[in-house]
Amino acid sequence: MIVAHSLADFATARADLDAAGHRRVAFVATMGALHAGHRELIRLARASGDAVVVSIFVNPLQFGPGEDYARYPRPLEDDLAVCAEEGVDLVLVPTVAELYPAGRQVTVHAGTMGTVLEGRSRPGHFDGVLTVVAKLFHVVRPALSFFGQKDAQQLTVIQRMVTDLNMDVEVVGAPTVREADGLALSSRNVFLSAGERALATSLSTALRRAAAADSVPAAKVAANEVLDRVQFEPDFELDYAVLVHPTTFAEVPDDHTGPVRMLVAAKVGSTRLIDNALLELPAPLPEQETVDRAV
């Protein structure tokens, strides 16, 4: 495994992949603190490409004022060990100065989708995400790139960017990996105390209950029954629990049927957590069929 700490060293190693005939480079962009969810992304990349590239970079552009950029975990040696165990070919560990040179002015704007939900709670967050992902795509030149569906809004805005800017890369969403208690894996989970972790599982429980519902109103009721039990806990602050169209992220009306994504976000202790689930809401039965079944 080659570890490149500069863009020049990475360019040399990337050219060697081309020379070796690795035409389908699969890429996993990370901020480090790698966990089982990242391992799954790397394994999917390994199964899909001729070579696997991983980047490790805590991107300052996607953190707002007062967020946890300074304390975000950076266990680089552990992360490199994970990459080696998973058979990664090339790791890029760039510096902030190289990715964001002095005098930088141009960024990528996420558009309307970047101003709702996480974009509303964290203004500029998705502009920062898209800017670094665009830069990494340019540097790495992957055929495929894998992102987790836990960050569903992020995944969707990246796919939108690739479409709108005609980028020659396939962005693949991978299922959310969860711990035994249902909590979605996140690098930020390490900040949770035992009590906070118990509160955090209410997010996945709410999603699971909503997924068993057969309508938008029923899904809201099922989720809120769970979230209402913790809303007055001092270490739990709900930001949102909404049902949205899975590609536009606009809130759906109560009579919506078909696929819908429920998203939840909360601050648990000092840690912000997000989660989501894709629901399939059935169309109502025709009136006559409803009568016949009742009889």
Is 150 marked as a binding-site residue? yes
What's the CA gap between 150 and 134, in Å, rounded?
20
Nearest to 110 by CA among 81, 138, 95, 131: 131
What's the CA gap between 207 and 182, in Å, rounded?
10
Is 263 marked as a binding-site residue? no
Q: Which residues contact 286 (CB under 8 A, 6 or more apart)?
A: none
Is 31 marked as a binding-site residue? yes
Is 79 marked as a binding-site residue? no
Residue position matching structure tokens 């999603």: 207
What's the CA gap between 220 and 273, in Å, rounded?
19
Is 258 marked as a binding-site residue? no
Is 38 marked as a binding-site residue? yes
Is 105 marked as a binding-site residue? no
Is 159 marked as a binding-site residue? no
Is 34 marked as a binding-site residue? yes
Is 148 marked as a binding-site residue? yes
Nearest to 52 by CA among 64, 40, 68: 40
By the 8 A CB rule, do 243 and 219 touch?
yes
Q: Between the CA of residue 48 and those of 32, 81, 133, what are the distances in Å?
A: 22, 22, 20
What's the CA gap between 118 and 153, in Å, rounded?
8
Is 149 marked as a binding-site residue? yes
Is 124 marked as a binding-site residue? no
38 is catalytic: yes
What's the CA gap between 6 and 98, in Å, rounded?
8
Is 186 marked as a binding-site residue? yes
Is 22 marked as a binding-site residue? no
Q: Between the CA of residue 33 and those of 20, 72, 82, 190, 288, what are the distances in Å?
A: 30, 9, 10, 10, 56
Catalytic residue among 38, 109, 125, 138: 38
Is 37 marked as a binding-site residue? yes
Residue 228, CB-side half-sphere exposure with 13 Å CA sphere:
6
Length of the chain: 295
Nearest to 177 by CA among 199, 142, 204: 204
By the 8 A CB rule, do 227 and 242 touch?
no
Catalytic residues: 38
Show binding-site residues.
31-38, 62, 148-151, 154, 177, 185-188
Show binding-site residues for beta-alanine.
62
Show binding-site residues for ATP.
31-38, 148-151, 177, 185-188
